Amino acid sequence: MSNDEYEKALLAKLPEYREKLLSLRERILADVVMVGEIPSPTFEEEKVVQFICNRFTEEGLDQISIDEVTNATGLLPGTEGKHNILVAAHTDRIWQNGIDHTVTVTSESLIGPGIADNALGVTALTTLPTLLKVLGVELKSNLILLGASRSMGRGDLEGLRFFTENAKLPFGAAVCVEGIQLGRLSYSSLGMNRCEIQVITPEKHDWESWSLTGAITALTQIVQRILAIETPQVPKTSIILGSINSGTSFNLPPTQATLRFEVRSEEPGMVTRIREQIEEILEQNIAENGIHATMEILARRRPGSIGFSHPYVRSAREILKALDIKPQVAPSTSELSVLLDKDIPSLTLGLTEGDNKHKLDEAIRIKPMFSGLAQLIATLQCIDNQFEDE
């Protein structure tokens, strides 16, 4: 059977896949809730990683392990085992231990901090062996299931970087799994610098000094100059100001202020050029205003892509079309960038619809989840089949 014939037959099965997966609704929702209620801030993922390994043991996976940077790994053997496909989901979430991680379940949705990013993605790992079994799907290739730690913020994708540099089994393709949005199809990564500027102004009251009004004023002038930097529309480039923190009262000028931001671009070298302009702005403000200011680069990415016409991308688009889901093509700055940097053909997929990402009432809808899981399994089948054509 040719690859085209194989995919045509597979696409015809997708409605059946979705219906069969509905029979696992309680198991899937139970895992999403349990994962969601385990606090898992970056660098403190031990409990959720242990949960993943316990599930891998129950599923009878091989080579279950937790490595030096708290990645959880398990191997689902294929019928032939000539090739290996990595399926990865990051295990950390933005929320610290002190907040309430209770997940609210309604007939249509699950609501809780981190439920979309990325409790559902982790659940795809813990349930995937059962989902394949219920659908009667046997892949020729081995599946390496990876709960990747230390991805977000200052983690800077450390877990996946460590795994790719130390993996005992080579893998020829990878799929990264995110909870939302269903239809997400990422096959490229942006160049990116994630930075933090800290401004410190003198405490001494000095009417001749511009900085006497405090760190907020000093940081505001820096922000105004950053916003004046010209960014091209093509290739797509942007400066994203993520957060500003400073001050404790109405009438006391603060002496410290922090700005967190990202510079992103599709063009190699563009991020560096803009970052250097921002460094120049800092130097100008230090010289003119007598403040102390520093900039720390917390994370870096390089742009990369497998291209819109890559066979994996084409198959993923056809699968979404067969499920009546509109593809949302967007570049990534997360796990995908590490894999593309290693020249590993890879995709990132979303599993369901959701709202309020990174808010305490983050929500995912239940019904679309089964289309998302059917999409994931069909994509893995296409990759598995295409290995034979390479």
Contact present, 220 and 258 (Cβ < 8 Å): no
Cβ pair 37, 99 in contact under 8 A = no
CATH number of the structural domain 191-301: 3.30.70.360
Q: What is the pTM of this model?
A: 0.90
Q: What is the mean pLDDT of residues 286-299?
A: 92
Q: Which of 38-47, 59-68, 325-334 has the lowest mean pLDDT?
A: 325-334
**Selection from 345, 357, 309, 344 nearest residue 329 by Cα:** 309
Q: Which CATH number describes the domain made up of 3-189+303-387?
A: 3.40.630.10
**Average pLDDT in the 358-364 region?**
96
Residue 249's pLDDT band, with cuts at 50, 70 and 90, is confident
CA distance linking residue 297 with residue 347, whole number of Å: 26
The pLDDT of residue 206 is above 70? no
The confidence band for 139, taking pLDDT boundaries of 50, 70 and 90, is: very high
Position 2 confidence tier, pLDDT thresholds 50, 70, 90: confident
Write down the mean pLDDT value for the chain: 94
pLDDT at site 290: 83
- In the chain, pLDDT over 70 holds for what percent of residues? 97
Residue in 46, 40, 34, 65 with CA at minimum distance from that of residue 127: 34
Closest to 331 measured CA to CA, from 186, 191, 194: 186
pLDDT, residue 280, reads 97
State how far the Cα of 75 lies from the Cα of 85, in Å rounded to an integer: 10
Please spell the DSSP secondary structure of 277-346, one letter per residue: HHHHHHHHHHHHH--EEEEEEEEEE--EE--TTSHHHHHHHHHHHHTT---EE--BSSHHHHHHHTT--E
CA–CA separation, 3 and 161 (whole Å): 33
Position 211 confidence tier, pLDDT thresholds 50, 70, 90: very low
Q: Which residues are CB-neighbours of 201 under 8 A, at least 6 positions away?
A: 211, 214, 215, 218, 253, 255, 256, 291, 292
Only one residue has tokens 């940077």, namely: 69
Confidence of residue 205 (pLDDT cuts 50, 70, 90): low
144-153, 202-211, 232-241: which has the minimum mean pLDDT? 202-211
Runs of H (alpha helix) within 169-322: 215-227, 270-289, 311-322
> Do the Cβ atoms of 135 and 127 come closer than 8 Å?
no
How much is the average pLDDT of 142-165?
A: 96
Query: What's residue 202's pLDDT?
Result: 78
- Indicate if the pLDDT at residue 207 is higher than 60: no
Domain chopping of the chain, boundaries: 3-189+303-387, 191-301
Residue 3: its pLDDT value, please? 86
| Predicted local confidence at residue 310, as pLDDT | 97
Which tens digit of pLDDT belongs to each residue from 105-127?
A: 999 999 999 999 999 999 999 99
